[in-house]
Amino acid sequence: MEDDSRSKKLKELLKGSQAGGATAPGTPQDITQAQFDQTLAKYPLIVIDFWAQRCQPCRIMAPLMDQLAAEYKNKVFFGKVNTDENMDLVNTLGIRNIPAFRIFKNTQLVDKAEGIVPKAQFKTLIEKHL
């Protein structure tokens, strides 16, 4: 019985170490321009929320990002980039409107969304890349 439990734990650890090597926390993490490339390399699937404090739709979407990060814990990394503090990154990625969401898989941009996105639609975007 103890061997089964160890075997399960080992499988979970190995599963988390594949691809990028790190498991995703259950809460969105702040990302700066300096951390961006390192974050992309670290996690196999990433959702990044580009936001600003002054943006009402961004504040509406924040609780949804919290919920999704908790639901996809250990599967999808959720990051937040403050557009006012990371303008070079925003310009490099061509972000013109906020909130803007970018999904990266194995360092490559694979999907995007903008504005207020319903939870079901956001989950569909994520699920097709798992």
Contact 65/15 with Cβ under 8 angstroms? Answer: no
Distance CA 36, CA 118 (A): 26
Which one of 24, 47, 58, 76 is the catalytic residue? Answer: 58
Active site residue 58: yes
> Which one from 22, 55, 113, 125 is the annotated catalytic residue?
55
Token couple for 98: 């906020």
Active site residue 69: no
Beta bridge mates, 111: 103
Task: Report strand pairing: 100-105 vs 45-51.
Answer: antiparallel
Which tokens go with 9? 């734990």
Q: Which residues are catalytic?
A: 55, 58
